[in-house]
Amino acid sequence: MMTEFKNKTAVLTGAGSGFGLECARIAATRGMNVVMVDVQQDALDKAAAEIKGMGAKTGTEVLAMRVDVSNANAMQALADAVFVRFGAPHFVFNNAGVGSGGLIWENSLADWQWVMGVNVMGVVHGVHFFTPMMLEAAKKDASYQGHIVNTASMAGLLNPPNMGVYNVSKHAVVSLTETLYQDLRLVSDQVSASVLCPFFVPTGISQSHRNRPAELQGEKPTKSQLIGQAQSDKAVGSGKVSAADVAAKVFAALEADQFYIYSHPQALATVQERLEDIVLARNPTDPFKHKPEIGAKLRAALRAE
């Protein structure tokens, strides 16, 4: 649980846009030192300039670093730089993520490397390099409070079709974070964790292929991947809950020590259905049961010659 924010330090990956940028805005407003991390230099520069302007009014500092979170050495360098500049951070937001769709057997190995590298290993690296320094700070200072938030997705609690690689990566983040929460409870009352599971929210994730490394470029997109991209663009673009709304929920969770953070609690009915499938050992429920026209359209598109 975090109750004091002024002069504390927040580390945010994926800070050039979306949830990361919105959380950086809140952190700056609350007088926190802000470490902004992103792989896209132009977005990072623009975002950092804005947060520095806010920091000038609150007296807090901003450190911006271009980092590929899938690279362990780069994340080690980030952690070292944060510690030298600010000491152990109080809030770490492992938020950087990429999206990828298509039928699961059609994803190339490059697709798997890219998505798992960013979405899973990026979070692993954040937890690996920052948790020990946070726990050490807690041992030295009884007033220290630390919190780690990892961005998963409702796709980490469900298994929507035609987006398998993304589902797998986000299920891994949910499991990792649930375990992190339990492990932290064994050793400290001062450091905790939460998992963010947003549904369709307008951010830049549907266009994340723009930052895909050249060495992990996939083959020509398959029909299912093109269909998946179009679906993602439409769903994300039409989202009614904003990234700013979600960022506010993240900070509310920090104050309440709330583990699960949802952008669309109404979507939990589908999660409940999935859990009942598991407990009752019944076959997975048709994900389009409540909107059969969408399922029919997708099946027709995929089966068309």
Q: Is 260 a catalytic residue?
A: no
Among 22, 11, 19, 28, residue whose Cα is nearest residue 79: 11
Other CB atoms within 10 A of residue 230 CB: 13
**Please, where are the H alpha helices in the chain?**
18-29, 41-58, 72-86, 109-116, 122-140, 164-187, 223-237, 243-256, 268-279, 292-303
Q: Which of 144, 166, 181, 262 is catalytic?
A: 166
Structure tokens at 163: 């987006």
49 Cβ contact list (under 8 Å, min separation 6)? none
SS3 36: strand
DSSP class of residue 210 equals G
**Complete edge-to-edge strand list for the sheet that includes strand 146-151:** 62-66, 33-38, 9-13, 91-94, 146-151, 191-197, 260-262
DSSP class of residue 222 equals P
Could you list the active site residues? 166
